[in-house]
Structure 1
């Protein structure tokens, strides 16, 4: 029964997030918010809601290993597997904005996480930990990123179509969608976290392993589907922007909020995973900045996806 609730919880979590975003975006229209503002606040937040809710429940329950590995696992999958599969479908040629902003900021976010873990803002701390102060810093960086993205997008009319299709529902229906979405997030998030802990205990796996594999893969499925569909529609720029944009939100928003709820002790066994996340971002930077044609070819995409599969196999075998 727990396994059924675990799977159903993921479905409810993802559906609930989508319903909440639609309802909240519609209310934003009633409040005279511009489509651009809605896009860079409500819609952007909505793509990270499944990971956020899981981390909120995990942090509140003291299951901090699950909270940290969910973010790192999602980012590694986004960078290696999702971008890799996307490139196999259609070689990725990132636009100028993606190349100059999202790609380096995703790497910057990963490096910030590494610095916060190893170079503490609190000298008295003797263990590797992401504490309240670090959480506030991550959220401040998120605000800066959103402001930068907003100002950048105002100058680019070509981005308008991305947020111009926001639908406005009747107000009562919009409010009902918000209530249903919040309920879905609450119950779905609870079931997923409880199921993850049960799976770890039942199979003798650590919560960290469950978080960086099963939970991370499941929460990244919406990004995978979005990127694959974008590639099939010959829009590889949106595909890579979706994956790396999720990385930025995962670190700045999700870890920031999680650290405010409960300080996140960082186990030394997770150091390799942190380095894999950073190196994965460096690979993307190399391919699009230095590589031939400033693109990710099918061969390079296949290599990235293969590295991810090898990494997961190594994780399972060593744990």
Structure 2
């Protein structure tokens, strides 16, 4: 029965995120918000809402391993498999501002996470924690990011009026219903995933962190994968890469920030390796993005292969 509940939880997360993104992005397009802002905010935050729900609920339940592992695992999944598969389908064009500002901002968030959790090394504490004050730091940086993207939206306001109008027409109330209904499904599904995954972890003797890095991380990142693949097929590179970059920033700064405000999160030693790997992969993504301002199919294959190698490593490690 636990496995059934886990599958039901994932189904609710994925379908809920689908309705949330469809509703919110359609409303944004009706209001003539630029594709860049849609990709970096509404779509990114919408597809990251499963991670937010799962990690916050895990923090409430005292499952720090799931909360942190979910965020780090999801970000690695996004950088490697999501970018890799979408680039293999259709090479991803990268805007110059993404290379100069957004990917470096992702790198800044990742390095900040590494610094803030290294309490034993940097401050001589007895244990490593993401404290409530650390959570406030994350949320303050997140506020700076929000200010930046709204400035981008304001500066690109004129160009946004030249974008192709969306095909879907109809009353805005319908899409508000999609958005609210999607959020309800996400919250309920997230609760089922946390409870079921934790129970399965204990039955197999797996650590909470391993479950967070694998089962939960992959499951909650499926909306990013589906959204980015769809955007790549439609040749909407701004939305595809903006979704991934925005999601990773949201995961670290908002999800961990909010989770640690609820309850300080204990950090196990093994997660340091995963965070360092996340930083390295973000640098690789930046390097690949600089090659002719696109991520080629061959580079996508390298990233996808890196995720498979990472999965083998963490399973053997645990």
Check whether TM > 0.5.
yes
1:306 aligned to 2:305? yes
CA contact (8 A) 1:26 1:168 kept: no
Deviation at 1:97, TM superposition (A): 2.1
Higher mean alpha-carbon deviation, 203-212 vs 64-73, is at 203-212
CA contact (8 A) 1:35 1:163 kept: no
Deviation at 1:22, TM superposition (A): 6.1
Deviation at 1:86, TM superposition (A): 1.8
- C-alpha distance in 2, partners of 1:42/1:297? 26
1:189 aligned to 2:190? yes
Aligned in 2, Cα 1:316/1:160: closer, same or farther, shift over 3 Å?
farther
Q: Matched residue of 2:91: which SS?
A: coil
- C-alpha distance in 2, partners of 1:43/1:242? 6
- C-alpha distance in 2, partners of 1:10/1:71? 16
- C-alpha distance in 2, partners of 1:45/1:119? 29
Q: Matched residue of 2:127: which SS?
A: coil
Aligned in 2, Cα 1:161/1:244: closer, same or farther, shift over 3 Å?
farther
CA contact (8 A) 2:45 2:247 kept: no
Q: Scaled by the length of structure 2, what TM-score is found?
A: 0.87
Aligned in 2, Cα 1:51/1:275: closer, same or farther, shift over 3 Å?
same
How do 1:145-164 residues align onto structure 2 when only pairs under 5 Å count?
145-156=145-156, 157-159=158-160
Deviation at 1:5, TM superposition (A): 0.9
Deviation at 1:169, TM superposition (A): 3.8
Aligned in 2, Cα 1:114/1:26: closer, same or farther, shift over 3 Å?
same
The Cα offsets for residues 241-299 of structure 1, whole Å up to 9 and x where unpaired, read as 2111110000111000000011011111111101110000010112223x4x2432222
Aligned-pair RMSD on alpha carbons? 3.0
Name the structure 2 match of 1:102: 102
- C-alpha distance in 1, partners of 2:185/2:163? 26
How do 1:73-152 residues align onto structure 2 when only pairs under 5 Å count?
73-118=73-118, 125-152=125-152
Deviation at 1:92, TM superposition (A): 2.5
Aligned in 2, Cα 1:270/1:177: closer, same or farther, shift over 3 Å?
same
Q: Scaled by the length of structure 1, what TM-score is found?
A: 0.86
Deviation at 1:233, TM superposition (A): 2.1
The Cα offsets for residues 146-181 of structure 1, whole Å up to 9 and x where unpaired, read as 11101112212444578975977465x677656644
Deviation at 1:119, TM superposition (A): 5.5
**What 5-or-longer segments of structure 2 have no aligned partner?**
none
1:263 aligned to 2:271? no
Aligned in 2, Cα 1:167/1:137: closer, same or farther, shift over 3 Å?
farther
Q: Matched residue of 2:195: which SS?
A: helix
Higher mean alpha-carbon deviation, 176-185 vs 162-171, is at 162-171
CA contact (8 A) 1:86 1:231 kept: yes
- C-alpha distance in 2, partners of 1:199/1:254? 24
Name the structure 1 match of 2:227: 226
- C-alpha distance in 2, partners of 1:41/1:83? 18
**What 5-or-longer segments of structure 1 have no aligned partner?**
none
Deviation at 1:2, TM superposition (A): 1.0
Deviation at 1:187, TM superposition (A): 2.2
- C-alpha distance in 1, partners of 2:125/2:119? 10
Aligned in 2, Cα 1:283/1:26: closer, same or farther, shift over 3 Å?
closer
Aligned in 2, Cα 1:162/1:63: closer, same or farther, shift over 3 Å?
farther
The Cα offsets for residues 217-236 of structure 1, whole Å up to 9 and x where unpaired, read as 11111111121122222333
- C-alpha distance in 1, partners of 2:68/2:298? 31
Name the structure 2 match of 1:315: 314
Name the structure 2 match of 1:241: 242
